[in-house]
Structure 1
Amino acid sequence: MKPTPSASPDPAPAERAGQPPSDQLPIHGLLSYRLSRVANAMSRSAALRYRREFDVSLGEWRTIALLGADAPLTLNKLARLAALDKAQMSRVVAKLSERGLVLRELGAGRTTQLTLTRKGAALYRGLIGAANERDQAFLVCLTEQERQVLDSALDKLGTLARALERAEER
């Protein structure tokens, strides 16, 4: 007995091997993947430097930097700005508080306002200086026009990413 023909033709050999169709990019060609890889490499090198020079983790650095720029902040607001969940941020703040770098004070209602202590502010000045040095080291490989295009592209991509995130949450 002859086998009955399938409703759809046999996929191309590349598709059978797990390759995307020829009109689609593989993961390493996707913009989000490429941006993530660059951001992760930048973050890993920053984490190594900040740990070595200032004895802080990347999460601690971001917390100190955000409080140095915008204090006072609530834990929820700080977690949103740092792109961490509230539990992670709570652990980071607890460590920084134990080290005498972050001060917790009661705010309006039941909120806790977070600020840097004097020691935390001194650490912030060192960290933000190092971060600005790193920023310049990355930007040096770009022309002024490329920097402007990158800034504009990142603004547009960020706006669209936030809009898509809101749409997905519905």
Structure 2
Amino acid sequence: MPNTPPETIRDLLSYRIHRLANALSRGAARRYRRDFGVSLMEWRILALLGGFAPMTLRDLARESGLDKAQASRAVKALVARGLVERATGAQDAREVALRLSGEGARLQAGLMQAARERDAAFRGALPAETLAVLEEAIRVLQAEARRQTVEG
């Protein structure tokens, strides 16, 4: 069936991947809200700042897949909770550099541990050979998606 043309939207590879990504996100969102009191958007921002701070709002939005308004609202909520700090950018005083506070770093460490546990469960559900094929397929599909985006 891999070379059979799709008959309905449910047969489209992109649709199936989108549905899988949504299911993965719903599970993550439920766990992070229940165990850590953060939304999935907030989790993404905390995780990115934990690994790559300082970051600008524009960089956070791009890396997290959020639009700038969504990222701005999430950052504002995280700042209000004392989890994220704002500072003047090192290169440009008009730029705001974002980083985790001490409390934010502690929360992010717990979130990353939970994410690693989820990731290990997903990886463990696949035989090593299948996981290697999946990793390569993801790499190839990401490259093709970038190519199609550039070509318009």
What range describes the TM-score normalised by the shorter chain of this pair? over 0.9
Which structure has the highest helix share of the two?
A: 2
Q: Which one-letter code corresponds to 1:34 in the other structure?
A: R
Deviation (angstroms), 1:60: 0.3
Deviation (angstroms), 1:24: 4.0
TM-score (structure 1 length as normaliser): 0.84
Within 5 Å, which residues of 2 pair with 1:66-81?
66-81=48-63
**Runs ≥4 residues deviating over 4 A:** none
Deviation (angstroms), 1:25: 2.6
TM-score (structure 2 length as normaliser): 0.93
Q: What is aligned with 2:96? A: 112
Q: What is aligned with 2:113? A: 129
Matched, 1:26 2:27: no
Matched, 1:93 2:75: yes
Q: What is aligned with 1:7? A: none
Task: Tell whether the 8 Å contact from 2:84 to 2:98 is kept in structure 1 after alignment.
Answer: yes
Could you list the runs of 5+ residues in structure 1 that have no partner in the other structure?
1-21
Within 5 Å, which residues of 2 pair with 1:1-170?
23-107=5-89, 108-109=91-92, 110-168=94-152
Q: What is aligned with 1:19? A: none
Q: Which one-letter code corresponds to 1:77 in the other structure?
A: D
Q: Which one-letter code corresponds to 1:72 in the other structure?
A: P
Instruction: Calculate the aligned-residue CA RMSD, in Å.
Output: 1.1
**Which has the higher Rg, Structure 1 or Structure 2?**
1
Q: Which one-letter code corresponds to 2:106 in the other structure?
A: A
Task: Tell whether the 8 Å contact from 2:6 to 2:12 is kept in structure 1 after alignment.
Answer: no
Could you list the runs of 5+ residues in structure 2 that have no partner in the other structure?
none
Deviation (angstroms), 1:167: 1.6
Counterpart CA distance in 2 for 1:23 and 1:137 is 32
Counterpart CA distance in 1 for 2:62 and 2:41 is 13
Q: Relative to 1, partners in 2 of residues 1:23 and 1:65: Cα closer, same or farther, differing over 3 Å?
A: closer
